[in-house]
Amino acid sequence: MNLQDLNGSRLLMAASGGLDSCTITHWLTWHGVEVVAYTADLGQPDEEDMDDVRERMLACGAREMILADLRPEIAEAGFQLLRCGARYEGGYWNTTGIARHVVVAGMVPEMERRGITLLSHGATGRGNDQVRFELAAQMLSPGLRVYAPWRDPAFLEAFGGRREMIEYCQAHGLPVKATLEKPYSTDANVLGLTHEAGELESLETSPALVEPGMGVFPARAPDEARVVEVRFEEGRPVALDRTALEGFDMMRAANEVAGAHGVGIGLHAVENRFVGLKSRGVYEAPGLELLGQCYEYLLQLVLDRRSRRCHSQVSGWIAEQVYQGYWFDTATQACRAFVDHLARLATGTIRVSLYKGTVQFASAADVPHSLYREDAASMEAVGDFDHRDSTGFLGVLGVSARILSQADQIER
């Protein structure tokens, strides 16, 4: 869909209040399109006052500004990522990916209430966000149409990049904060920060270029370790250091204690975008990293070998689904049901030691479904496990071992 297809239409645009959304809003308004701006409060640590976003978008021509408080929803999505262990390609906690799904889920009801059928976003044609916005929208409301300025020839002709947008905003007196001097871009919510583009696109640039927004780099963390206790009830973190916390408050508190000790700060990753390109990012997700490590220690106690293998495979699958924009689809929902089934066993208290970016196991207590038993695992006492029973066990295993050798399938 291009500008000429809009014909003075009314659309709801996902707006962050940043350079792109301010430029797009003013440019569309200038061309006779009625823009209703939608901004979600996701606990962004880089926005001190969300009302500033409202003022910027209205100043840029938005007919209406919707500021939605989605802090409970983003925190709940973070706990779902936690239970799933949904780290993309081994490290990235999908903090931006899941946020796009949360935002679209908030936008759709607002569109339905206003009779708006056209959704717009400022994602580029090179990245993953365009896929996330549009797949999520079409799954939740198949009748919606999408306008993406960065795929519109008219917009691309007017704006080649940040320089042209900054010059446009300055020429029209628009209240944007962006400058050409900023060496990278940042996307933020309470789950984490993603830093990319600009100077970070060069692999000769160290992650140390980034100024952390949720803590400190491990090298600058305190020289003394901090012991932290996390209580889980059926897969949900419910207390931190014996203080009961829920939802957004839990995530914020976990961020504070973990970030202060360099946990989850400054992760470098070169990952595979869905569109086929490689991208480099530097990530922060201190709370998820702390809670995720604690949850991992808890799962070690309650999952048997087969459940553990299934959970590991499903974790990788769900991480990819979130990254690629398929959080709401059938396969993901089925996999999440499996994860939730196992989470019913995940009750217990885990204590860990935080030291310069590391999370080390300290102790576990009150884990009612633990499969670990000291008497059975002991290498000294017999307990319930009779060492002599292994004779028959090894005899059975040895049959196939000998057959492999006799069939000349073993390289010597």
Q: Which residue has the tokens 């580029």?
A: 124
Say what the pLDDT of residue 378 is.
60
Class of residue 223 by CB neighbours under 10 A (exposed 0-12, middle 13-18, buried 19+): exposed
Please answer whether residues 17 and 56 qualify as being in contact, where contact means their C-beta atoms are separated by less than 8 angstroms: yes
Q: Catalytic pick from 41, 151, 185, 241? A: 185
Distances from the Cα of 53 to the Cα of 58, 176, 307, angstroms: 9, 10, 46
Q: Is 223 a catalytic residue?
A: no
pLDDT recorded at residue 376: 64
**Which three-class secondary structure state does DSSP give residue 89?**
coil
Q: Which residue has the tokens 């709401």?
A: 328
- Active-site residue 20, yes or no? yes
**CA–CA separation, 101 vs 236, rounded Å?**
21
Tokens 């885990």, located at residue: 350
108/214 Cα distance (integer angstroms): 30
pLDDT of residue 169: 94
- Specify the pLDDT at position 253: 98
Query: Residue 355 and residue 221: Cα distance in Å, rounded?
Result: 8
Q: What are the structure tokens assigned to 76, written together?
A: 């709940």
Q: Tokens for 171, please give them.
A: 């020429």
Catalytic residue among 56, 100, 231, 336: 100
- Which of 71, 129, 132, 315 is an active site residue? 129
For residue 379, what pLDDT is reported?
A: 59
As to burial, measured by CB atoms within 10 angstroms (0-12 exposed, 13-18 middle, 19+ buried), residue 213 is: middle
Q: Out of 16, 20, 71, 187, which one is annotated catalytic? A: 20
> Rounded to whole angstroms, what are the CA distances from 226 to 229, 238, 294, 347?
10, 20, 14, 23
Distance CA 359, CA 293 (A): 7
Q: In sequence order, what are the residues at sequence separation of 6 or more whose Cβ sits closer than 8 angstroms to the Cβ of residue 270? A: 203, 278, 279, 280
What pLDDT was estimated at residue 411?
A: 83
Is residue 129 annotated as a catalytic residue, yes or no?
Answer: yes
Count of Cβ atoms closer than 10 Å to residue 207 Cβ: 18
Query: What's the rounded Cα separation, in Å, for the pair 239 and 153?
Result: 52
100 is catalytic: yes
Neighbours of 246 (CB within 10 A): 15
Using an 8 Å Cβ cutoff, are 211 and 256 in contact? Answer: no
Under-50 pLDDT residues of the chain:
none
- pLDDT at position 374 is 77
Task: Enumerate the H helices of 215-328 as residue ranges.
Answer: 247-260, 286-302, 305-324
